[in-house]
Amino acid sequence: MGGTGVNADHFERRDDRPGGGRRNGHGRSGSGRDDHGGRRRPGGQDDRRDARGRQRPAARVRGERSTSRQAPGQRAKRTDPARTAAFDVLREVDESDAYANLVLPPLLADRRIRGRDAGFATELTYGTLRMRGRYDAVLAECVDRPLDDLDAGVLDVLRLGAHQLLGMRVPSHAAVSETVALARTNVGAGPAQFVNAVLRRVSEVSLPEWLERIEAGAPDRLTGLATVQSHPLWVVRSLREALAGHGRDPGEIGDLLAADNEPPRVTLVARPGLVDVSDDDAWHDADLVPGRWAPTALVLDGSDPGVVPAVRDGRAGVQDEGSQLVTLALAAVPLDGRGAGGPARNEAPQARATDSGGPVSEPEPSTSGPERWLDLCAGPGGKAALLAALAAQRGATLVANEVQPHRARLVRRALDAVPDGVVEEVRTGDGRETGTDEPGAYDRVLVDAPCTGLGALRRRPESRWRRTPADLATLTGLQRELLASALDAVRPGGVVAYVTCSPVLAETQLVVTDVLRRRDDVERLDTPAVVRSVLRTEPDGTRPDLPLTGGAGARDDVQLWPHVHGTDAMHLTLLRKH
Ligand SMILES: C[S@@+](CC[C@H](N)C(=O)[O-])C[C@H]1O[C@@H](n2cnc3c(N)ncnc32)[C@H](O)[C@@H]1O
């Protein structure tokens, strides 16, 4: 497909650009450092971008960077701070394996890029990373050599241009000229001419036509779908297999991949007992609507969660609704035998209400002190904070364990708002040893296992390109050991929740089946019934109809999906030890 691509050799390479002209994967061009190796000076911007992403001249002038080595004549076109921010984040993601969602917000704050400019930079950064596979296929049609042979900074500029042309409503002339200006400042004047020529080629064809061409040129349908929907082929294969294995139609794969490309709505968790939805002071001016499934979920429309007082002080947090549901389910499932339940301090009625068809009942009163709960893999602490709030209502206590010290620190911070006496300890340790060190010591154990995260691709734009099939082998071994340890750490009659933010069969069903094959003291619980029992109740007393696969009773685990439930693809299996 396509004609002859643009030849990069026709354009002069300038080595006077910051970082020189190294090749893709090894270069440091446009690294976010100034000529002396320091951070670039912040280029403060306000709401000067128009609705279509164009920047008004005053903002351009005020936001220009002062570190260009180019002659004044070459700097005729000023660089837009939002595009520069996106470029700098892309370089950092490539060079330092950084996470865009951790790098971008502080960078925007540091450079005082706010309002529409911040929104533009965010959409440009995340969209470019997410849709990289699609744009690379388009760019490959417009360049006369493998993209891997291009300078890494030049390739990132081209991707940013492609996203503006094909994924955002930026007018073509603005997308090309602003991106060429970005190239001139960051990768040099010669490459900027090359960028200009390539982006003009990209802009000559509409997105639907590009996608048609990509599909037509693909060796098979699945490869075409993977490229068009910008996922690595091995990920598409794993997800399609997961759909089938979890009882869904593998033909849904297109919808699933499309849902992965939609930025998720910001969902907050109102930690029960710590904050009330009707408390105006807690939510400030936030525009909130109840979540679809979890009684604790609030969907935030438009504003920054960081300005919500309850989020700032830990009474609420940002948390996917699927994560909330699996945590609520672990807290709601009845225990057997001694130590089951505890006197409620301030019970949340919805968390314990019984589903019409489900077996969930009120826990028996404790005969041996408060329940002890364990979060075995707690960092950074989202589920631990919800568990701790629920534990406070039940008179239970929580131990949070995390192997990485810096993530254990994040857990401590996440637990800031929890009343004294609820959290026994936040410890740094290897969860694989807990079962041996503390056999039978806990009533409820959460294993939110380290996983590929292939169920949360919506919120981690670069992660699909980082993961490899080899990760699966390492992770599934660790997952088995952690689940086995959790089952040793729970007392007879107690419950373990095995959770992943991946639907991949090797990390979900196969781990559970394999661990259970080696022991005869564990029973699978009716997880769908428990999850249905914790769903929010409508004012008329009904609950939403949570579609789960396989028909009633056909499956004993729960798999959520972005394209079905609007949540991350969280997996939950509830297990009871005899
Ligand atoms: C999926 S994350 C947990 C997310 C967390 N539950 C939350 O909701 O914020 C998995 C965590 O397990 C930790 N981890 C990995 N190996 C571990 C081990 N051997 N023991 C304990 N934690 C481990 C990782 O560092 C990571 O923080």
> Domains, the chain, ranges and CATH?
8-207 (1.10.940.10), 266-577 (3.40.50.150)
Contact 558, 565 (CB under 8 A): no
Ligand 1 centroid to Cα of residue 450, in Å, is 5
Is there an atom of ligand 1 within 6 Å of 329 CB? Answer: no
Separate counts of helices (H) and strands (E) for the chain: 24, 12
pLDDT digits over 191-203, tens only?
999 999 999 999 9
Feature table: binding site for S-adenosyl-L-methionine: 377-383, 402, 430, 448
Confidence (pLDDT) at 550:
57
Residue nearest to atom 1 of ligand 1 (CA): 450
Confidence (pLDDT) at 301:
87
Confidence (pLDDT) at 365:
37
Is there an atom of ligand 1 within 6 Å of 460 CB? Answer: no
Confidence (pLDDT) at 261:
97
Mutate which of 330, 403, 415 for ligand 1? The one with the most ligand atoms within 8 Å of its CB, which is: 403
Confidence (pLDDT) at 491:
97
Ligand 1 centroid to Cα of residue 507, in Å, is 14
Confidence (pLDDT) at 278:
87
Of 422, 484, 501, 505, the catalytic one is 501
Show Cβ contacts of residue 267 under 8 Å, excluding neighbours closer than 6 positions: 291, 297, 298, 299, 300, 318, 319, 320, 321, 324
pLDDT digits over 145-169, tens only?
999 999 999 999 999 999 999 999 9
Which residues of the chain have a pLDDT value below 50?
1-3, 12-76, 339-367, 551-553
Ligand 1 centroid to Cα of residue 518, in Å, is 24
pTM of the model: 0.85
SS3 content of the chain, % helix, strand, coil (to 5): 45, 10, 40
Is there an atom of ligand 1 within 6 Å of 571 CB? Answer: no
Is there an atom of ligand 1 within 6 Å of 453 CB? Answer: no
Residue nearest to atom 10 of ligand 1 (CA): 450
As given in the structure block, the two tokens for residue 11 are 């354009």
Confidence (pLDDT) at 304:
81
Ligand 1 centroid to Cα of residue 451, in Å, is 9
Ligand 1 centroid to Cα of residue 383, in Å, is 11
> C-alpha 227: how far from its chain's center?
21
DSSP strand pairing (372-375 vs 442-448)? parallel
Confidence (pLDDT) at 375:
99
Q: How far apart are CA 128 and CA 142, in angstroms?
A: 18
Verify whether residue 501 is a known catalytic residue. yes
Is there an atom of ligand 1 within 6 Å of 407 CB? Answer: yes
Residue nearest to atom 13 of ligand 1 (CA): 377
The terminus-to-terminus CA distance of the chain in angstroms comes to 62
